[in-house]
């Protein structure tokens, strides 16, 4: 056995079972946090050190801490699920760990070893296992690993000190009343990411940049924004927090094909997106990565060859798209209802995550 690098200093005052159960009865999303968190420091010349599991608590930061001024920050999101036998497993944590390393590299931050990322998540989930909702529904425990630059001082340069943390929040079913399609506003002027920028990194600045476009989408009566490429304003990229898939041929006798935009450097490489390429092939569909233009999206929806569209990400797994609006046009996908291929894919992936279907790709990471 390797020596654990995370020292366990659990809380003397965790919430009572009754208080925790009251929260788990209606957790919502991102509103409640478990009793503990993991912290690991990085210092130039010393590397990663002082890994600890400690009671969840506020951070104390000097007002001149660099992250507060220059946004040197990255994060991840993954889930732990309760299995039918009561045990708990996380879904593909190594994929999140690898993306966290890519994000770190892009923001000139130190790369946390994959095994340390997984060890930190495991330590928190094991300690706060009682916070993982019961098996049966779509509830889960959402894990939020993140890293901030903690050097104190003004001046734009990579910091010489960082803090990595993992916190956890119980997440209710994304669609408590049954899966409901979302409406999408295609933004043809605002962009999320540019070539050579940091669109493929999971960093807070990308989300701050999306808020105004999101407000504009809401003013158009839409739930989400779809971004196009920043050069030609033509190629579909993704939503503010989810990747996109297009389903062709579901209404004909031919085999359905699911198409997701090619990773362009400005699209976040979603773990769900990657998993669905494999799940689709398992279900006998073709799955390809290709560029899709917004004109093609509109035309193929109107001529009936594009039968379904869905978004995907850790939070909702799969969200069907019902209505699409762009300047001067509006159309519906699969009659505004969740499509058949969308529904099958969603169920197949959820069954693997919740441990009710065979994990033939070895994606689940069980905790001791």
Ligand X SMILES: Cc1ncc(COP(=O)(O)O)c(C=O)c1O
Residues that bind ligand X (CB under 6 A): 77, 238, 241-243, 268, 270-273, 313-314
| Shortest reach from residue 244's CB to ligand X, in Å | 9
Show Cβ contacts of residue 362 under 8 Å, excluding neighbours closer than 6 positions.
none
DSSP secondary structure string for all residues of 64-104: TBTHHHH--EEE--EEEEE-TTS-EEEE-HHHHHHHHHHHH
| Shortest reach from residue 199's CB to ligand X, in Å | 8
User: What letter does residue 2 receive in the DSSP assignment?
Assistant: P
Smaller CB separation from ligand X, 172 or 241: 241
Measured CA to CA, the distance from residue 155 to residue 348 in angstroms comes to: 49
Residue nearest to ligand X (CB): 270
- Total residue count of the chain as it appears in this document: 368
Asked whether the CA dihedral 314, 198, 188, 260 is positive or negative, the reply is negative
Please provide residue 113's backbone torsions phi and psi, each rounded to the nearest 5 degrees.
-55, 140
Smaller CB separation from ligand X, 268 or 292: 268
- Coil, strand or helix: which one is 227? strand
Are 169 and 29 spatial neighbours (Cβ–Cβ below 8 Å)?
yes
Are 60 and 113 spatial neighbours (Cβ–Cβ below 8 Å)?
no
| Shortest reach from residue 299's CB to ligand X, in Å | 25
| Shortest reach from residue 206's CB to ligand X, in Å | 7
Smaller CB separation from ligand X, 36 or 79: 79
Smaller CB separation from ligand X, 36 or 95: 95
| Shortest reach from residue 363's CB to ligand X, in Å | 13
Exposed/middle/buried for 2, CB within 10 Å: 0-12, 13-18, 19+? exposed
| Shortest reach from residue 197's CB to ligand X, in Å | 13
| Shortest reach from residue 276's CB to ligand X, in Å | 9
Smaller CB separation from ligand X, 14 or 241: 241
Smaller CB separation from ligand X, 77 or 355: 77
Smaller CB separation from ligand X, 130 or 218: 218
Show Cβ contacts of residue 170 under 8 Å, excluding neighbours closer than 6 positions.
23, 24, 27, 32, 34, 131, 132, 133, 139, 140, 141, 142
């Amino acid at each position: 056995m390797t020596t654990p690098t995370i020292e366990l200093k659990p809380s003397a005052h965790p919430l009572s079972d009754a208080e925790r159960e009251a929260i788990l009865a209606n957790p919502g999303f991102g509103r409640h946090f478990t009793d503990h968190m993991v912290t690991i420091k990085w210092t130039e010349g010393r590397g990663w050190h002082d890994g600890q599991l400690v009671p969840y608590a506020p951070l104390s930061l000097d007002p001149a801490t660099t992250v507060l001024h220059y946004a040197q920050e990255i994060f991840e999101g993954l889930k732990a699920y309760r299995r039918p036998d009561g045990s708990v497993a996380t879904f593909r944590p190594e994929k999140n760990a690898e993306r966290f390393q890519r994000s770190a590299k892009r923001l000139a931050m130190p790369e946390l070893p994959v095994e340390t990322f997984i060890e930190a998540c495991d330590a928190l989930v094991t300690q706060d296992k009682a916070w993982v909702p019961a098996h049966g529904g779509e509830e889960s425990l959402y894990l939020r690993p993140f890293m901030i630059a903690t050097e104190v001082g003004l001046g734009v340069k990579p910091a010489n000190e960082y803090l990595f943390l993992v916190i956890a929040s119980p997440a209710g079913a994304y669609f408590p009343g049954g899966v409901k399609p979302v409406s999408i506003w295609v933004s043809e002027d605002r962009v999320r990411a540019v070539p050579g920028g940091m669109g493929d990194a999971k960093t807070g600045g990308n989300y701050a940049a999306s808020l105004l476009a999101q407000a504009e989408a809401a003013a158009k009566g839409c739930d989400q924004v779809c971004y196009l490429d920043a050069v030609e304003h033509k190629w579909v990229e993704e939503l503010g927090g989810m990747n996109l898939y297009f389903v062709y041929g579901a209404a004909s006798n031919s085999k359905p094909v699911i198409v997701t935009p090619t990773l362009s450097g400005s699209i976040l490489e979603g773990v769900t997106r990657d998993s669905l390429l494999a799940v689709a092939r398992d279900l006998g569909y073709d799955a390809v990565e290709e560029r899709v233009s917004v004109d093609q999206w509109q035309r193929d929806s109107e001529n009936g060859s594009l039968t379904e569209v869905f978004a995907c990400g850790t939070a909702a797994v799969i969200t069907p798209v019902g209505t699409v609006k762009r300047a001067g046009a509006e159309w519906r996908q699969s009659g505004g209802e969740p499509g058949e291929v969308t529904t099958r894919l969603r169920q197949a992936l959820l069954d693997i995550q919740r441990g009710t279907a065979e994990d033939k790709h070895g994606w689940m990471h069980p905790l001791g």
